[in-house]
Amino acid sequence: MFTQESFKVFDITGLDERMEAIREKIQPIFKELDERIKKELEKELNETLFIHLAQHRRRSVYPPANTWSALSNNKRGYKMTPHFQLGIWPEYVFMYLSIIDQPPKKEQMADLLLQNSLLLTQLPVDTVMNTDHTKDNYEYIAQANVKQALERLKNVKKGELQVGRIITRDSELWQEPEQALEYMLATYRCLVPCYQLLQF
């Protein structure tokens, strides 16, 4: 499970040094948690999921500001379809259903979500959404303009949507790893109807 040491990885300066710490201190946690999450989601979805770890290969100077893993039904990659993400920024861990990096049929996905927006607005009150995966800006869905976010997803080339929940760095959940895992699993279960809607 993530600990305070996990968050401290982002205090490390230098691309190579931070990437080494990500590989040594964060990616093993991703793998362990994703195996548990994968097993749970495969039962819910009745399909095979594949674990992908962000490699940050395009970076040549600046160290990554965050890192993540993905569960996708595509063995070759994850960005071309809606997928589940588990990731960490310096101040929180996130559990998201993600539509990022201009996947095919993005406009149709946005239309489906616009037509079925209750699937989003009726998510738990501590659900958050983010419209740019490169920034750690999120807002709680109760206060968010969901329609505006979905229209942006549809009409803006770089429009994105991530929806799910976060666990902040100072959360007491980290003192109870099994409770933290159950919160993560519950989050992904809540997102299953949205994920299933987007499978076409």
d(CA 84, CA 192): 10
d(CA 172, CA 179): 10
d(CA 187, CA 164): 6
Helix-strand-coil percent breakdown of the chain, rounded to 5? 45, 20, 35
Beginning with the edge strand found earlier in the chain, give each strand of the sheet holding 83-89 in spatial order.
50-53, 67-72, 83-89, 92-99, 161-168, 128-130, 139-140
Q: Report pLDDT for 38.
A: 98
Q: Report pLDDT for 59.
A: 78
Q: Report pLDDT for 173.
A: 97
Alpha-helical runs (H) found in 22-145: 27-45, 106-115, 118-121
Q: Report pLDDT for 146.
A: 94
Q: Report pLDDT for 49.
A: 97
Q: Report pLDDT for 23.
A: 96
d(CA 112, CA 108): 6
Alpha-helical runs (H) found in 46-176: 106-115, 118-121, 146-155
Q: Report pLDDT for 183.
A: 98
Angstrom CA distances, 138 to 6, 49, 158, stand at 21, 26, 17
**Mean pLDDT for each 10-residue chunk of the chain (200 residues)?**
97 95 97 98 96 87 94 94 97 98 94 96 96 94 91 95 98 97 98 95
Task: Look up the pTM and report it.
Answer: 0.95
d(CA 173, CA 183): 9
